[in-house]
Amino acid sequence: MSLFSQAFAVARKDLAVELRTKESLNAAGSFAIVILVIFSFAFDSFSDEMKEYGGGLLWLVFAFAGALVFNRGFARELPNECLDTLLASPLSGAALVIGKAFANFTMLLVVELVSLVVFGIFYNVDWLGQAGWLGAVFALATWGVSILGAVFGALTVNLRLRELMLPVVIYPLMIPILIAAIELTNIVLTRRSISEDMQWVKVLVASDIGFTGLAWLLADTILVS
Amino acid sequence: MREKLVVAFVALGAILLAYNLYQIFLVLPDEAAQGYIYRIIYFHVPAAMVAMLGFFAALVCSVWYLAGGDLRFDSFAASIVEVSVVFATVNLVTGSIWARVEWGIWWTWDYRLTSQLVCVLIFAGYLIMRRAIDEPTQRARLSAALTIFGCFDAVIVWKSIEWFRNNHPGPVLSFRTGGEQRMDPAMEHQLFLNALALLIMAVALTLVRARQESTAREIDSLRRAAHV
């Protein structure tokens, strides 16, 4: 089996488990909606300026909800020694990390879609005309945070303060991706052209390639239990 | 032997620092546009240089640890990161004081400032995380991975004044401008001398911290052996 088919098998397994239990999606989705509701008290949600703040608001929500998804990624393998079994299988470390990242990516995209619908309704922002561009920005940025979530989810899975340590470690690393995603989302929501600010696309692409490459290289080392 | 080396580094650093302070505050003239406050550059820039050098030295030690599994390199990496975080914080604080005088504000969300702050947060997270892990090899592995990912941001800090339009001044030192002299040679020479003094001090501090780390690891392994 090639690395990608192995990674795809891991992602398919994680998504199948998630579809049955819905533990990450329910927690992250409802958390995202609650945060969006709370933010609506802090801002005038019907002002024209909402589109200018929309990117920041959405990506804060995604980052917080993402931590819930990433925490479960490897933690769901702890009961019944599933993680040890996966490590003992012929599966390569890189395939396991990339597969987990792909599962994180898919789950986070679902949470983002739900949040975007709620955001559009609660904050009176019509984003449907920009759905294609928003999708591209979300996909690029979500892959970057998902691969970070998979790597550091693996590294922190056996820590006693796992839920606390993961955000402390990954949020600072996510910041370049979040800044770029916020800027690009604001550009799309205010219907400006992305070509005005291509540097943010470059930041996202460089982060995605850089973090995926590092995850690939370090996977076997970080997965030694 | 190591104690003598530390004493030698501290003595050398102290002498050089005393000479530099005399030159900076009593010999060199004020800068034409900025006046007296420009002198902060002799601490602001060298602190950043030492911090950046430290983060990349920690990267090398981390890769070395991952390649060979020798925990001494983990001790070195942790010590270097701790000292580098202090120097990076000095860089941020001195920059902030300069900005208050020159720009009228303590802080702006400029790419250089933001990326440096993020770098401090990443490596502060590294130090917090190390305290939360008891098992030495697990701690070393996680720390090494975090250092490697964290240095991704250190590269952004280094290149941000070239990649983005910033409020922060662009490159002025001749090794960043391709030899073009944008700073008075006497001032630049003094800046490099102070960078050397701070670097010597940083090496001395790192050696002391690395010794403490090794001792702590030995005590920890003895405690574990006693419990088995």
Interval B141-156: pLDDT, tens: 889 999 999 988 888 8
B20 or A224: which leads in pLDDT: B20
Q: B226 and chain A: CB distance < 8 Å anywhere?
A: no
Candidates B138, B141, B146; nearest CB to A169: B146
For the cut 70, the answer to whether the pLDDT of residue B120 exceeds it is yes
B54: β partners: none
Q: A161 and chain B: CB distance < 8 Å anywhere?
A: yes
Q: What is the 3-state secondary structure (H, E, C) of chain A?
A: CCHHHHHHHHHHHHHHHHHHHCHHHHHHHHHHHHHHHHHHHHCCCCCCCHHHHHHHHHHHHHHHHHHHHHHHHHHCCCHHHHHHHHHHCCCCHHHHHHHHHHHHHHHHHHHHHHHHHHHHHHCCCCCHHHHHHHHHHHHHHHHHHHHHHHHHHHHHCCCCCHHHHHHHHHHHHHHHHHHHHHHHHHHHHCCCCHHHHHHHHHHHHHHHHHHHHHHHHHHHHHCCC
Q: What is the 3-state secondary structure (H, E, C) of A123-140?
A: CCCCCHHHHHHHHHHHHH
At B155 the pLDDT is: 86
Cβ pair B118:A222 closer than 8 A: no
Cβ pair B125:A148 closer than 8 A: no
Q: Does the residue B29 lie in any domain?
A: no
Q: Poorest-confidence range of A158-172, B11-25, B74-88, B99-113?
A: A158-172
Minimal CA separation from B154 to chain A, in Å:
11
Q: Does the residue B32 lie in any domain?
A: no
Q: Does the residue B50 lie in any domain?
A: yes
At B129 the pLDDT is: 87
Three-state DSSP class for residue B31: strand
At B75 the pLDDT is: 92
Instruction: Label residue B80 by pLDDT band (50, 70, 90).
Output: very high
Average pLDDT over residues B216-225: 84
For the cut 90, the answer to whether the pLDDT of residue A103 exceeds it is yes
Q: What is the pLDDT of residues A55-95, one digit of tens each?
A: 899 999 999 999 999 988 888 888 888 888 888 888 888 99
Candidates B115, B152, B164; nearest CB to A210: B152
Q: B69 and chain A: CB distance < 8 Å anywhere?
A: no
At A224 the pLDDT is: 67
Cβ pair B129:A218 closer than 8 A: no
The percentage of residues in chain B with a pLDDT greater than 70, rounded to a whole number, is: 100
Q: Does the residue B109 lie in any domain?
A: yes
At B228 the pLDDT is: 65
Cβ pair A159:B132 closer than 8 A: yes
Minimal CA separation from A168 to chain B, in Å:
6
Q: B141 and chain A: CB distance < 8 Å anywhere?
A: yes
Residue A162, number of CB atoms within 10 A of its CB:
17
Q: How far apart are CA A165 and CA A155, in angstroms?
A: 10
Q: Does the residue B100 lie in any domain?
A: yes
Q: What is the pLDDT of residues A106-150, one digit of tens each?
A: 999 999 999 999 998 888 888 888 888 899 999 999 999 999 999
Per CB-CB distance under 8 Å, the chain B contacts of A161 are 132
Distances (CA, A) of A14 to A77, A126, A219: 10, 33, 18
The percentage of residues in chain A with a pLDDT greater than 70, rounded to a whole number, is: 98
Minimal CA separation from B100 to chain A, in Å:
25
Q: Does the residue B103 lie in any domain?
A: yes
Q: What is the pLDDT of residues B52-72, one digit of tens each?
A: 999 999 999 999 999 888 888
Q: A137 and chain B: CB distance < 8 Å anywhere?
A: no
Q: What is the rounded average pLDDT for all residues in chain B?
A: 88
Q: Poorest-confidence range of A137-141, A149-153, A218-222, B7-11?
A: A218-222
For the cut 90, the answer to whether the pLDDT of residue B163 exceeds it is no
Q: What is the number of domains present in chain B?
A: 1
Q: Do B184 and B95 form a contact (C-beta atoms < 8 A)? A: no
Q: B110 and chain A: CB distance < 8 Å anywhere?
A: no
Cβ pair B129:A169 closer than 8 A: yes
At A225 the pLDDT is: 52
Q: Poorest-confidence range of A63-67, B8-12, B132-136?
A: B132-136
Segments forming the whole domain that contains residue B196 = 2-24+38-217
**Which of A83, A87, A163, A165 to mutate: most B Cβ within 10 Å?**
A165
